[in-house]
Amino acid sequence: MSTSRGLARRPASRLDGFGVVVMVMLVTVALFLAFPLGTAVLRTLGDAPQGLEAILTSIASGALPKVLANTALVVLGGAAIATVAGAVLAFVNERTDGSLGAAGELLPLAPMIVPPIAGVIGWAILLDPSVGLVNHLLRGALGLVGIEATEGPLDIYTATGLVCVTGLYLVPYVYLIVAAGLRGVDPALDEASRVSGASPLRTMLRVTLPAVRPALLAAALMAVIAGIGLFSVPIVLGTAARMDVISVHVYRLFDQFPPQTATGLMLSGAMVVVVQCLLLAQHWMMPGERHSMIGGRGGRAGQIRLGRWRRPAQALAVAYLATTSILPVCGLLIVSFQPFWTPLIDVAQFTLENYTFVLFENGPTSRAFVTSLGLGAATATAAVLIAAVLMFAARLRQGQVARAADVVMALPATLPHTVIGVAFLITFTPAPFKLYGTVLILFLAYLAMALPFAARAAASAASGIGTDVAEASRISGAGPGRTFVRILLPLALPGLMAGWIIVFIHTAGEVTASSLLGGARNPVIGRVMTELWIFGSFPQLAAMAIVVTAVTTTGVALMLYLTRRASIRT
Amino acid sequence: MTTPTASPSEHTPRVSVRGLTKRYRTRTRDTTALDGVSIDIAPGEFVVLLGPSGCGKTTLLRSIAGLEQPDAGDILLDGALVSSSAGKVWCPPEQRRLGMVFQSYALWPHMSVADNVAYPLRNAGHRAAEIGPLVQQALARVGLDALGPSFPGQLSGGQQQRVALARALVATGGLVLFDEPLSNLDAKVRARLRVELAALQRTVGFSSLYVTHDQSEALALADRIAVMEVGRIAQIGSPQDIYDRTVSRYVADFIGSANEVLGEIEHRGGGECAVRTPLGLLAGQACADIDHVGGAAAVMFRPEHCTVLGPGAPVPAGHNRIAGTLERSLFQGATVEHVVRVGGSLVVATALAHDGMPPGTSVTVAFPAARTLVYGLPKDRR
């Protein structure tokens, strides 16, 4: 009975066929990321004298100090707004009966439902000082009390407008970290405090918030980091307000003729240094995510009753969803049906011409849709496949491979997207690559940006699968490769598909690298939209934003459906 | 290195473990999970590994399955070497052809019950035509023949447990490893499945290694029990042996509940010895580690071997006797647990019927010297 077993024995070896595939893939990914980044570093050092000189000139002329002051104002202001709003929303939704339940899950997804580039254009349509739809309504209301004006009263093309909209798009970063922190704290801690005679307010101040203090600090830092990298909001509002922040400034250095490569690289390097310092600080503040993992299981047992504050708390969450999604989409919808942008809404004038124009008649926009959606699908497929193989390999054998895979795939998340775009631009533009303006360079840059998202999705999909199901498969006579294909992959599929959709959405609506790398020959959505904004073709732009939003909203709905179904089955 | 036998006879152990050692290195310290463990499982035998958590029983099981790689020692399945550090032999789990029932059952939620059971058969290269009837037969054996098309998520814990067992039995050479398989079930289902498992083992005749920390489970299921103590086997033998002829204080403490009194060896003769204790002179069976008069010793006797006698009742011959006061009697349904105060300590005695003695009664606790065990103690452990 056991002769086959006797023959099967072989020397102890850690590398089988699957292991070789994994190692090759890991090394390829590492080189793929290291090559452009290394080239950029070498180039920065090589050009350092010119770069420093240009920067000193820029400082003397006051241009660079202005950019840095703008950046500080927008990033710190936006992060402050986002920290307060995000923490309150997280507290209400996680810990109180003011929770919106399933709709609350949409809060952190808001910027995916309506991509920032569409949302920010929507807000410009609502709050433009002369033709903004909301401003028109406000002027009408003010006219009733005898105040007449042709402009305002609100102006989004100001520092205040830029800070507020930036804050809006930083909220999800805060929300996710604080909510996770709150979820990690056993509600029994709150209950124990209440039983010990403390009021709900005292409980929140003395028990709940101190328990998540590291998470709050980390969330605020994360908002600052994300704010530095944010591009779509300042390129739209900052351009009109004549307020350039660092990410837009670097883009302009490369976009002008002749490009100021040395200066741009120097400033990119500075961005990287600042962001890495902030990340270190954040890491230091959150010593392992287990810090706030106090007590046993979580659960909804310990919901705080808000009483008469319940409705206002719910209204807050609804207001957030409205400001990020509903209001700007309404503005976009109205203008997309108009022959020209006017606050005087006349339904008789409504037309579908803008849609047929951007989708079918206008070469650049219709090709942009095809290219961006195709690139989105290709990037998502590649990133998720790589992440799935590496993450599962990491789980199967742990140790060094796991740590290496983690580090490599998380690396791009620590770099502002402007910097990734710049690194690919200067690496692949010169001979022998000459890839500038091609679909391939966009694909490579998108892939680098997508890896962290895909890795996170694969890791969370893998973490939901116990090691025992893989072990049971091995015991049942299946090797590692077969176990991956027959057991792990099918079980992780819903989570991986959700990850695919996330990457697809981010890639299809990507603005930063698209603006830097996309040429006129291969237009992509992000670049075409910023160009339409600069040229002032607003109704076509609105139609385009609505189409993009329709695609991303469908994607989010599909993703929620998939993850919901996955959580029901297990 | 042991030479693998080409053709196993019916006397070849299904599993043979020789000097198995496994260490875990963490940044702070090294732990030895297994320290030179040797054990055999004969064909058709049901061996239970019993011990507290952290004693290495699961590590031993997982090493046999091929889910852990031992640091030293050999593992032979049916006489063929599958793991040896000296001979650099390492056979991955998928080539060991054994079945395993996991604590969490580890059923694959995306496959139907029938597909779960068919999976090992497919991996073993069976033809599609054979698989259907084999799966049906395996499911019928555990009484689930109607549930093939269901998915694991739709089954109760007990049913999932049976599917896991059917899967473990279906394509193996009749060797099944169990990793605390009943610990996630509630008490009633656990008791029923324990009976079913024992019956199935008799009819199918598979050999098993079964890990548990539940001593009643071990006593009910095992042909032999191996009690483990931090990385080594403290005692191995039939349930009767383990219970009545316990060789060490550790095992006695782990199996059943026991009264313990410390004292000094007064004299020793043959297998018997007498110990001077604060409760008086007690006679008992000397265990191997008693070597000299005057040494420290622990006397152990089980509550169910004790009789509580009222004032004036005669003490049977060959019994130890301890005089005390009845502190309280705890009614436990079928039995009554009497707690008797003797000086500064308490002695527990289990009786069948309630004989209505009020607390405070002067009583005598009697227990046979033949069932009293005496263990030597190192001087510093008194």
Three-state DSSP class for residue A367: helix
pLDDT digits (tens, 9 = 90+) for A377-388: 999 999 998 888
**Phi, psi angle pair for B179, to nearest 5°:** -110, 95
Q: How far is A320 from chain B (nearest CA, A)?
A: 38
- Answer whether residue A408 shows pLDDT above 70: yes
- Two tokens at A241? 């307000």
Rg (CA), chain A: 26
A351 vs A236: CA distance, rounded Å = 26
Q: Give the helix/strand (H/E) hosting B209.
A: strand B207-212
Asked whether the beta carbons of residue A466 and residue B104 sit closer than 8 angstroms, the reply is yes
- Two tokens at A247? 């990410």
- Answer whether residue A295 shows pLDDT above 60: no
Q: What is the mean pLDDT of chain A?
A: 80
Kindly report the length of chain B. 382
Q: Give residue A16's pLDDT.
A: 65
CB contacts of B88 in chain A (<8 Å) are 11-12
A22 within a domain of the structure (yes/no): no
Q: Provide the 8-state DSSP code for B135.
A: H
- Two tokens at A144? 């009733």
CB neighbour list of residue B170: distance below 8 Å, 6 or more residues apart:
B99, B117, B118, B120, B121, B134, B135, B138
Structural domain span for residue A535: 62-336+350-569
B47 vs B33: CA distance, rounded Å = 20
Task: List the one residue out of B194, B196, B137, B202 whose CA is nearest residue B166.
Answer: B137
Q: How far is A394 from chain B (nearest CA, A)?
A: 16
CB neighbour list of residue B202: distance below 8 Å, 6 or more residues apart:
none
Asked whether the beta carbons of residue A476 and residue B97 sit closer than 8 angstroms, the reply is no
**Phi, psi angle pair for A513, to nearest 5°:** -65, -35
- Two tokens at B193? 């499945």
CB contacts of A3 in chain B (<8 Å) are 6-7, 80
pLDDT digits (tens, 9 = 90+) for A501-533: 888 888 888 888 888 887 777 888 888 888 888
CB contacts of A1 in chain B (<8 Å) are 8, 78, 173
DSSP secondary structure of B314-337: PPPTTEEEEEEEEEEEEE-SS-EE
A134 within a domain of the structure (yes/no): yes
Q: Provide the 8-state DSSP code for B67.
A: S
**pLDDT class for A49, splitting at 50, 70, 90?**
confident
Task: List the one residue out of B123, B124, B119, B91 whose CA is nearest residue B106.
Answer: B119
B228 vs B209: CA distance, rounded Å = 13
- Answer whether residue A398 shows pLDDT above 90: no
A30 vs B240: CA distance, rounded Å = 62
Q: Are strands B46-50 and B207-212 parallel, antiparallel or unpaired?
A: parallel
Q: Of A11, A472, A477, which is closest to B124 when you measure between CB atoms?
A: A477
Give the percent of chain A with pLDDT over 90.
Answer: 3
Q: Of B65, B80, B110, which is closest to A475 when you measure between CB atoms?
A: B65
Residue of B5, B16, B59, B94 to mutate, testing the A interface (most A Cβ within 10 Å of its Cβ):
B94
Q: Give residue A278's pLDDT.
A: 85
Q: For chain A, say whether B102 makes contact (Cβ under 8 Å).
A: yes
Mean pLDDT for A56-76 is 86
Q: For chain A, say whether B173 makes contact (Cβ under 8 Å).
A: yes
A1 within a domain of the structure (yes/no): no
Q: How far is the CA of A160 from the CAs of A81, A221, A238, in angstroms?
A: 12, 21, 11
> Could you report the predicted ipTM of this complex, rounded to two decimals?
0.77
Rg (CA), chain B: 25
Find out whether the peptide bond into A494 is cis, omega within 30 degrees of 0: no
CB contacts of A476 in chain B (<8 Å) are 94, 119-120, 123, 167, 171
Q: How far is B44 from chain A (nearest CA, A)?
A: 15
Residues 57-86 of chain B whose Cβ lies under 8 A from any Cβ of chain A: 65-67, 69, 77-82
Task: Please count the structural domains in chain A.
Answer: 1
Residue A17: how many CA atoms within 13 Å on its side-chain side?
6
**Phi, psi angle pair for B309, to nearest 5°:** -110, 135
CB neighbour list of residue A15: distance below 8 Å, 6 or more residues apart:
A23
Q: What angle do CA A221, A226, A228 make, to 5 degrees?
A: 100
Taking phi over 0 as left and psi of -120 to 50 as alpha, with beta for the rest, B294 belongs to left
Asked whether the beta carbons of residue A472 and residue B108 sit closer than 8 angstroms, the reply is yes
Is residue A487 within 8 Å of residue B108, measured between CB atoms? Answer: yes
Q: How far is B236 from chain A (nearest CA, A)?
A: 27
Could you tell me the CATH number of the domain that includes residue A313?
Answer: 1.10.3720.10
Among chain B residues, the shortest Cα distance to A479 is held by B94
Is residue B240 within 8 Å of residue B78, measured between CB atoms? Answer: no
What is Dmax (Cα atoms) for chain B? Answer: 78
Q: Give residue B8's pLDDT.
A: 54
Task: List the one residue out of A393, A537, A508, A365 whose CA is nearest residue A459.
Answer: A393
Q: Give residue B350's pLDDT.
A: 86
Burial of A60 (0-12, 13-18, 19+ CB in 10 A): exposed
Q: Give residue A435's pLDDT.
A: 79
Q: For chain A, say whether B216 makes contact (Cβ under 8 Å).
A: no
DSSP secondary structure of A497-536: HHHHHHHHHHHHT--HHHHHH--SSS--HHHHHHHHHHHT
Asked whether the beta carbons of residue B123 and residue A11 sit closer than 8 angstroms, the reply is no
CB neighbour list of residue A17: distance below 8 Å, 6 or more residues apart:
A481
Asked whether the beta carbons of residue A9 and residue B92 sit closer than 8 angstroms, the reply is no
Asked whether the beta carbons of residue A474 and residue B79 sit closer than 8 angstroms, the reply is no
**Phi, psi angle pair for A444, to nearest 5°:** -65, -45
- Alpha helices by DSSP H, B226-373: 239-244, 249-254
Q: How far is B118 from chain A (nearest CA, A)?
A: 10
Find out whether the peptide bond into A258 is cis, omega within 30 degrees of 0: yes
Asked whether the beta carbons of residue A569 and residue B100 sit closer than 8 angstroms, the reply is no
Find out whether the peptide bond into A153 is cis, omega within 30 degrees of 0: yes
Asked whether the beta carbons of residue A487 and residue B108 sit closer than 8 angstroms, the reply is yes
| Full-model pTM | 0.73
Q: How far is the CA of A9 from the CAs of A396, B81, B84, B88, B373, in angstroms?
A: 21, 8, 10, 10, 47
Q: Of B7, B96, B109, which is closest to A491 when you measure between CB atoms?
A: B109
Q: Give residue B15's pLDDT.
A: 92
Is residue A58 within 8 Å of residue A149, measured between CB atoms? Answer: no
Asked whether the beta carbons of residue B92 and residue A471 sit closer than 8 angstroms, the reply is no
B88 vs A367: CA distance, rounded Å = 61
Other beta carbons within 10 angstroms of residue A569's beta carbon come to 12
Q: Of B77, B90, B102, which is closest to A12 when you measure between CB atoms?
A: B90
Is residue A115 within 8 Å of residue A169, measured between CB atoms? Answer: no
A9 vs B88: CA distance, rounded Å = 10
Among chain B residues, the shortest Cα distance to A494 is held by B110
A346 vs A329: CA distance, rounded Å = 18
Asked whether the beta carbons of residue A12 and residue B106 sit closer than 8 angstroms, the reply is no
Is residue B376 within 8 Å of residue B288, measured between CB atoms? Answer: no
- Two tokens at B34? 């297994």
A400 within a domain of the structure (yes/no): yes
A493 within a domain of the structure (yes/no): yes
Among chain A residues, the shortest Cα distance to B68 is held by A471
pLDDT digits (tens, 9 = 90+) for A109-132: 777 778 888 888 888 888 888 888
Q: Of A2, A469, A569, which is closest to B106 when you measure between CB atoms?
A: A469
Q: Give residue B176's pLDDT.
A: 92
Three-state DSSP class for residue B156: coil
Is residue A267 within 8 Å of residue A220, measured between CB atoms? Answer: no
pLDDT digits (tens, 9 = 90+) for A425-435: 888 888 787 77
A384 within a domain of the structure (yes/no): yes
**Phi, psi angle pair for A12, to nearest 5°:** -60, 120
What is Dmax (Cα atoms) for chain A? Answer: 100
Q: Give residue A79's pLDDT.
A: 92
Q: Of A10, A11, A475, which is closest to B100 when you measure between CB atoms?
A: A475
Asked whether the beta carbons of residue B171 and residue A476 sit closer than 8 angstroms, the reply is yes
Residue-wise pLDDT tens for chain B (382 aa)? 344 444 556 678 899 999 999 988 776 778 888 999 999 999 989 999 998 888 889 999 999 988 888 999 999 999 899 988 887 888 888 888 888 998 888 888 888 899 999 999 988 888 889 899 999 999 998 888 888 898 888 888 889 989 999 999 887 778 999 998 888 888 888 888 888 888 888 888 889 999 998 888 888 889 999 999 888 898 999 998 888 888 888 888 788 778 888 888 888 877 788 888 888 888 888 876 666 777 888 888 888 888 888 877 788 888 888 888 888 888 877 788 889 998 888 888 888 765 677 888 888 889 998 888 888 877 654 4
B299 DSSP β-pair partners? B261, B374
A17 within a domain of the structure (yes/no): no
Q: Give residue A399's pLDDT.
A: 61
Asked whether the beta carbons of residue A468 and residue B106 sit closer than 8 angstroms, the reply is yes
- Answer whether residue A98 shows pLDDT above 80: no
B235 DSSP β-pair partners? B227
CB contacts of B171 in chain A (<8 Å) are 476-477
Other beta carbons within 10 angstroms of residue B310's beta carbon come to 13
A279 within a domain of the structure (yes/no): yes
Asked whether the beta carbons of residue B91 and residue A5 sit closer than 8 angstroms, the reply is yes
User: How many contacts does A have with B, using Cβ atoms within 8 A?
Assistant: 115
- Angle between the N-to-C axes of helices A439-463 and A489-508, in degrees from 0 to 180, rounded to the nearest 10: 140
Q: How far is B124 from chain A (nearest CA, A)?
A: 7
